[in-house]
Amino acid sequence: MSLIAAEGIDKEYQAGEVAVKALKGISFEIAPASFVSFIGPSGSGKTTLLNLIGCLDKPTKGQLKVADTDVLHLDRKQSASFRGSNIGFIFQDFNLIPVLTVYENIEYPLLMVQSAPSSERKKRVTALLDAVGMIDQKDKYPDQISGGQKQRVAIARALVTNPKLVLADEPTANLDHKTAYMVIELMKTMRNEFKTTFIFSTHDQKIVGEAEIIYMLEDGEMKGKEVKGGNNNG
C-alpha cells in the first residue's frame, strides 16, 4: 500500500508567452511512515513537486493519489479540507505567527482547521511541546527563540492535527549545519514516534544522507532513487 502514488506527472507554468516545463514525466510511490528527501539544484522542480503533493497546485498531466484520494479532482474547498486533515507543512522561513506564543503557534491549526475540545487541544499541544523539547519555552514569542527552536515549534505545529504526511520545503536552508542536522534528526524521531511520513526537500548534500529514501531531481526529471538500510518500499 502506498501513501503517495504519482504517475507520469507533468507540470507546466505559463510565464507570459513562454511555457516553462517544471516537471516532466515524474512517477514514484511513497509508503506510509517513510522518511524521504527530494534533492536537486535550484530550479530542478522540488517546490513544484511538493506543492502538487500538498494539494496546493495541480499537475498539467498525470495521476496523483495521496492517502487513497485522487487529489486531481478536488476543488479548492475540498483541497483545503483534505490538507487540513491529512497534511502538515514546514517552511524554510519557519512562518510562525509573531504575536502568538510558542504554545499558541502549535495550537493554532487545531483552532483553524480542526475543531477539538479545549481539553483535547491542551493534551495534544503539551505532548508535542514535550516531544520537540520546547516545553520550557512554551510562553515565549518567536522573536525570543533561536532559528533551530523556531523549526522545532514548526515541526510540532505540523504534527498537531495528526496528519498522515508532513511536507518540508528546504526546512534547513536558514539554519547552520549543526542545527540543520538536529532538525532533520528531530523529524526522523517524530516519524518513528507518530509513524507520520516526512518528505523534505534540500540541495544540501550534508543533510540529505539522513533521509532513508532519496529522489534526485534535475531539470524537472527524476534522475534517480537511492534507498538506504534495505527499506525498499516503493
Which residues sit at the interface with Mg ion, rule CB under 5 A? 46-47
Residue 209 binding target from Mg ion, ligand ADP, none, CB below 5 to 8 Å by type: none
Angle between helices 147-159 and 102-112 (to 10 degrees): 30
Which C-beta is closer to Mg ion: that of 91 or that of 108?
91
Q: Which is nearer to Mg ion, 46 or 124 (CB)?
A: 46
Of residues 77, 96, 203, 221, the one with CA closest to residue 158: 96
Nearer to ligand ADP, 46 or 152 (CB): 46
Contacts of 206 (CB under 8 A, 6+ apart): 177, 180, 181
Nearer to Mg ion, 46 or 191 (CB): 46
Q: Residues near 90 by Cβ (< 8 Å), separated by ≥ 6?
A: 151, 154, 155, 158, 166, 167, 168, 169, 171, 200
User: CB 206: neighbour CB atoms within 10 A?
Assistant: 12
State in angstroms the smallest separation of the CB of 159 from Mg ion. Answer: 22
DSSP code for 234: -
Query: Helix axis angle, 118-131 relative to 102-112, nearest 10°?
Result: 130
- Name the closest residue to Mg ion (Cβ): 47
Of the pair 39, 183, the CB lying nearest ligand ADP is at 39
Site for ligand ADP in 17-36 (CB under 6 A): 20, 22
13 contacts ligand ADP (rule: CB under 6 A): yes
Total residues interacting with ligand ADP, rule: CB under 6 A: 12
SS3 content of the chain, % helix, strand, coil (to 5): 40, 30, 35
The C-alpha atoms of residue 126 and residue 133 are separated, in whole angstroms, by 10
Binding mask 131-150 for ligand ADP (x = CB under 6 A): --------------------
Which string of x and - marks every residue 41-60 that binds ligand ADP (by CB under 6 A)?
-xxxxxxx------------
Q: Residue 37 CB, nearest distance to ligand ADP (Å)?
A: 12
Contact footprint for ligand ADP (CB under 6 A): 13, 15, 20, 22, 40, 42-48
